[in-house]
Chain A
Amino acid sequence: DSGVTQTPKHLITATGQRVTLRCSPRSGDLSVYWYQQSLDQGLQFLIQYYNGEERAKGNILERFSAQQFPDLHSELNLSSLELGDSALYFCASSAGSVAEAFFGQGTRLTVV
């Protein structure tokens, strides 16, 4: 158990819909990273938050957004969903600059 909790584990939704993925980082970790794993693109960094503030953006679509709350949990919002958004979405957390990232079990999103 990595200590990073993601909910839900599975999500099936229709095109055009909006979903929210949730992540609780390990206790004490201030950084939260979101990654997308798809068959064609592999594992790609989406966005990072540190102690409530956005720190870096990767290949994140404008239809996607995220936030980190005062209790440090984070949510990834995906809207106007398309079939191509079907993927495994991972959250990872780390304690700081020298610490490795620990991953949650991921949320499997299927858009039908």
Chain B
Amino acid sequence: AQTVTQSQPEMSVQEAETVTLSCTYDTSESDYYLFWYKQPPSRQMILVIRQEAYKQQNATENRFSVNFQKAAKSFSLKISDSQLGDAAMYFCAYRSSYSGAGSYQLTFGKGTKLSVIP
């Protein structure tokens, strides 16, 4: 079974600064997807960014980028120019690329609570 670990329960960042959230995972599969989801106080789960394991290039979405290290099974999220609206819980999630039964459920880490200081 796959596991996802987020070792930082809480982090804080000064507005306009850069912060990196860590995530490691354990899997025996060679092909899979990794995601970062954001959960603001409204509790909505919002997809921030996704990475396919077969792609060497790190995914970027505006101010959000990842550092994907497949051999190390590490998948960190970097938020540049942090804004007050970035304050939220951030969840790292893993999903198999192939499932014989056709199920692609997500395995989540415990989350990192990010505070943004004005």
A-side interface residues toward B, CB under 8 Å?
2, 31, 33, 35, 42-45, 48, 50, 55-56, 58, 88, 90, 92, 94, 97, 100-103, 105-106, 108
Contact = CB atoms under 8 A, between A and B. Distances in A.
A108 B41 CA distance: 13
By size class, the interface of chain B is 20 to 34
A33 B103 CA distance: 9
Nearest to B108: A43
Among B42, B44, B97, B111, residue most surrounded by chain A Cβ atoms (within 10 Å): B44
A58 B44 contact: no
Given A48-B105, A55-B102, A100-B35, A42 B45 contact: no
Contacts of B42: 105
Given A2-B44, A100-B47, A43 B104 contact: no
B14 to A, nearest CB: 28
Interface of B: 33, 35, 37, 42-47, 50, 91, 97-99, 101-111
A107 to B, nearest CB: 10
Given A43-B91, A100-B35, A105 B102 contact: no
A101 B106 contact: yes
